[in-house]
Amino acid sequence: MRPLVHGASYFPELLAAIRAQRAGDLLLFTDWRGDPDERLAGHGSEIGTVLCEAAERGVIVKGLVWRSHLDRFQFSEAENRHLGEEIEAAGGECLLDMRVRPGGSHHQKLVVLRHPERPEHDIAFAGGTDLCHNRHDDATHRGDSQSLPMAAAYGPHPPWHDIQLAIRGPAVGDIEACFRERWDDPAPLSRSPFTRLRELVHREDIRADPLPLQLADPQPCGTHTVQVLRTYPNRLLRGYDFAPDGERSIARSYLKALPRARALIYLEDQYLWSPHVVECFAEALTANPDLRLIAVIPSFPDQDGGLTLPMNLIGRITALDKLRRAGGGRVAVYGLENHAGTPVYVHAKVCVIDDVWASVGSDNINLRSWTHDSELNCAVLDQSADLREPRDPGGLGDGARCYARDLRLRLSREHLDRDEPEAQHAPDVLCDPASAFEAFAETAAALDSWHDRGRPGPRPAGRLRTYRAPNLSHTAKALSTPLYRLLVDPDGRPFRLRRHNEY
């Protein structure tokens, strides 16, 4: 398991892996949005072109892309359809999948590459990075030259922070099984009569052809125990055959991991919404007076607007209030900016608890991701102990693990503008949860002060800005709360679970 931080790390590796595939190999992918012209590495590496070339040389290419809501609402209906059309014309198959709960989306982002005659090359990619515009950024956060419009604060080329995982070993088979369950879902791709009409007009492929039999899982190849976790809603009318009541294993993983948190919860999240969801974080903070929480989130929602902005803020405001009531000064929330002062849009979905348990995926900390949309996460417990002090931050005997600690330190160093120690396993003050918490606070305070004083002299190191939630009027709160619950952060649980806030 390797975290690929930023699209500039993920896209070239994906490109090389696809171009190495031969006739008879298998390529499966799902996506929330796919832009066929998004370049993975340079001219000629457009994702549509790369997938078509694979299909033309005999690779079995199968894709599931969320059909999306209408483009007039700033979604991606046309782009997703065009990607599918290109792949179909080249001999592959890409279905536009709207088998979701009303108002929901397929949010999983995965690619599986299997090689029947070369199983040592089998690999899967899963996480938060779509194959679309805005995602091809790097640690400098200058943005993707192929950009989509966002809130004005992010500029013409929005800086983008994201993570995808490169996965080998038996978990590849688990992720492939996730794709196959959706592919073989007997429900129609859409129940909307208007969508059915568009399918006829555009002569879309609406029936999934059979897949080849699934190969045996790849052999274990490392020290990481990987648990593949998912969300599916309690779909109305006919449920999923593979999840008749929905699935909420992502939520349950947090409910099991958080009670063991004692020292530090490190989060990177696009939303951090919903007081219902953060209740389990608040309970951990209340129960453990030495527990700290660092959260890195976008400084601004991705959309401006008199209606959309309050809808996107109300859930975060109430969630942060709950966390701060539970943890007080032990809860620290930050946004990011690049060295030019442009805010960075945090799209990563990461949680590291006490440098032991780590989760990366497509899910956000909100009710939609935990109950309503389709999501895919990988939780990792590394068998390799990290020998740097403190060796057991939580004090429960679990011991820090290399994967979780290295992931947290890598992300932290980027945000703090710190270099990695030259010697492997050299002492690092950021290993200590209390020291890391203070380093974040000091870095953000210095940069905040520099901005507040009119930016005199050299810019302080770091990219962290203290997150300050805007004030919403009582009228804005009253108007936006029902819309937030209905449209922005809906609940996809069966009613019996909603009543007791269970998953």
- CB of 384 closer than 8 Å to CB of 403: yes
Q: What is the pLDDT of residue 202?
A: 66
In a domain, 382, yes or no: yes
Does residue 107 fall inside a structural domain? yes
Q: So what's the pLDDT on residue 198?
A: 67
Q: Taking residues 355-373, what's their average pLDDT?
A: 98
For residue 238, tell me if it sits in a domain: no
Distance between CA 150 and CA 141 in Å, rounded? 15
φ, ψ dihedrals at 226, nearest 5°: -115, 125
Tell me how far CA of residue 71 lies from CA of 48, 52, 503, in angstroms: 20, 25, 33
- Domain end: 200, 219, 238, which one? 219
Same domain, 123 and 256: no
Q: What amino acid is encoded at 89 in this protein?
A: A
The domain total for the chain is 2
List beta partners, residue 161.
346
Q: Where is average pLDDT lowest: 235-239, 378-382, 396-400?
A: 235-239
Residues 184 and 323 in one domain: no
Residues 215, 255 within the same domain:
no
Q: Is residue 227 part of a domain?
A: no
- 69 vs 229 pLDDT, higher one: 229
What tens digit of pLDDT does each residue of 236-265 get?
A: 878 899 999 999 999 999 999 999 999 999
Where residue 75 falls among pLDDT bands split at 50, 70, 90? very low
Q: Supply the angle between the helices 7-19 and 47-56 in degrees, to the nearest 10.
A: 20
Whether residue 63 has pLDDT greater than 90? yes
Determine what percent of the chain is predicted with pLDDT higher than 70: 94
Among the residue ranges 17-31, 172-186, 348-362, 466-480, the one predicted with the least confidence is: 466-480
Gap between the Cα atoms of 261 and 285, Å rounded: 9
Provide the greatest CA pair distance for the chain.
64
Q: According to the model, what pLDDT value does residue 192 have? A: 73
**At residue 213, does pLDDT exceed 70?**
yes
User: Could you give the C-alpha distances from 218 to 16, 38, 384, 396, in angstroms and in order?
Assistant: 20, 30, 21, 33
Judge if 168 and 279 occupy the same domain. no
pLDDT > 80? residue 340: yes
Q: 39 forms bridges with which residues in the sheet?
A: 46
- The reply to whether 214 and 256 lie within a common domain is no
| 204 confidence band (pLDDT: 50, 70, 90) | confident
105, 252: one domain: no
CA–CA gap between residue 68 and residue 33 (Å, rounded): 8
In the predicted model, is pLDDT for residue 135 greater than 60?
A: yes
Residue 431 lies in a domain: yes
- Average the pLDDT over each of 21-25, 232-236, 304-308, 349-353 and give the range with the smallest value: 304-308
Do residues 272 and 358 make contact, with C-beta atoms less than 8 angstroms apart? no
Domain of 132, CATH number, reads 3.30.870.10
Q: Which residues in 368-382 are b (16+ Cβ under 10 Å) and which e?
A: bbbbbbbbbbbbbbb
Over residues 2-13, mean pLDDT: 98
Domain of 351 in residue numbering reads as: 247-488
Q: Which residue has the tokens 């949860």?
A: 433
What is the arithmetic mean of pLDDT over 420-447? Answer: 91
Q: Are residues 194 and 270 in the same domain?
A: no
- Pair 203, 263 in one domain: no
Is residue 214 in some structural domain? yes
Q: How confident is the model at residue 81 (pLDDT cuts 50, 70, 90)?
A: low
Clarify whether residues 436 and 308 are in a common domain.
yes
Residue 230 inside a domain? The answer is no
